[in-house]
Amino acid sequence: MSARGSAHGRVNLVGEHTDYNGGLVLPTVIPQQTEMVVERRSDRLIRLRTEARGMAPVEVPLDAIAPRRDWSDHVLGVVDTLRRRGHDLGGFAAEVRSTVPLGAGLSSSAALGVATVRGLREAFALRIDDRDVALIAHESEDQFVGAHVGLMDQLVCSLGREGEALRIDLRDRSTRHIALDRIDMEIAVIDSGIRHQHATGDYQKGRDSGPSSTGRATPGSYNVRRRECEDAARALGVRTLRDVGVSTDTSALSPMLARRVRHVLSENARVDAAVDAIERSDAPTLGDVIKASHASLRDDFEVSLPVIDDIVAAAQRESDVHGARLVGGGFGGSVLVLTRRGAARAVAERIASRSGSLKVVLPAAPR
């Protein structure tokens, strides 16, 4: 008998590069999801396959799991994490099916990790709740895959609900569901076609290659940005940048590190401003928050690219758009566009039609 586990992708309304700094985030799940179909085997082999193009099937002995630096690490890492936590697993065959675009900043890797935990939970009758599902998927990503991401993606992929945003405080891991049905807002996501290749995943397409000499976004810079935040926190004598007060003197930091700190502090404030705007059904103010987030990601955190900035600018010239910004880790990926309700698909298609490399991934095209 087959067991199944699934998880939605996500788009983050606001709160970018704050999660690994112990900060605030406000993601919501998207309709696209990843499903893992698992069948137990009588031996101790793991056989994996995926419908994703260019990703070969994998066969690995259960007792000889090690990182392979390919898509299967996101599954094998979960197996390794579960076994280290004392869960009893046997051999299995699994097939991965997904409609979450790879490399578009929509948490394809986290969705795969969460779907894997859920599929194995059902197949092997593991006693794991949905919050632990997120923690296991995150531990796999961090320790086995080597992508030192924050916990936001796994938490929302496991705990998020359609039609709601999830305010997460990564300092204490508390969550609060925020209804989105009373604000004049619809979400569009436009894939730039530029694939980020940092070690956060895209089913492990690329590795960290370090920053450019200019400090501008380059493939692999995600882990570099995280190290910069850690360096800044260490220099300021705090555990994470969440512990830095708004009046803290940052003059001893290099100008670059001071910019990183400024982004994190201001982005945390924008999360609560966004929640307040949503709860007051104030779409224009929410749009202003989104615009300010992009400016900070571009200028202070330096994770945008000129082509992304052009997409954002084109979106913000549309009369039905409240605001737009880079979404995801940066260095490519997608643009989030907040429109008036009912306008998202038309607006996104107009923007995407200006370049053959752009693709509307949300709202999904009608069938």
Task: Name the phi and psi angles at 14, rounded to 5.
Answer: -165, 155
Cα–Cα distance measured from residue 140 to residue 114, given in angstroms and rounded to the nearest whole number: 10
Give the dihedral sign, CA 96/101/103/106.
Answer: negative
Q: Select which of 153, 191, 208, 300 is catalytic.
A: 153
| Cis? peptide before 284, omega within 30° of 0 | no
Rounded CA separation 270/276 (Å): 10
CB 29 within 8 A of CB 156: yes
Is 73 assigned a catalytic role? no
Catalytic residues: 153
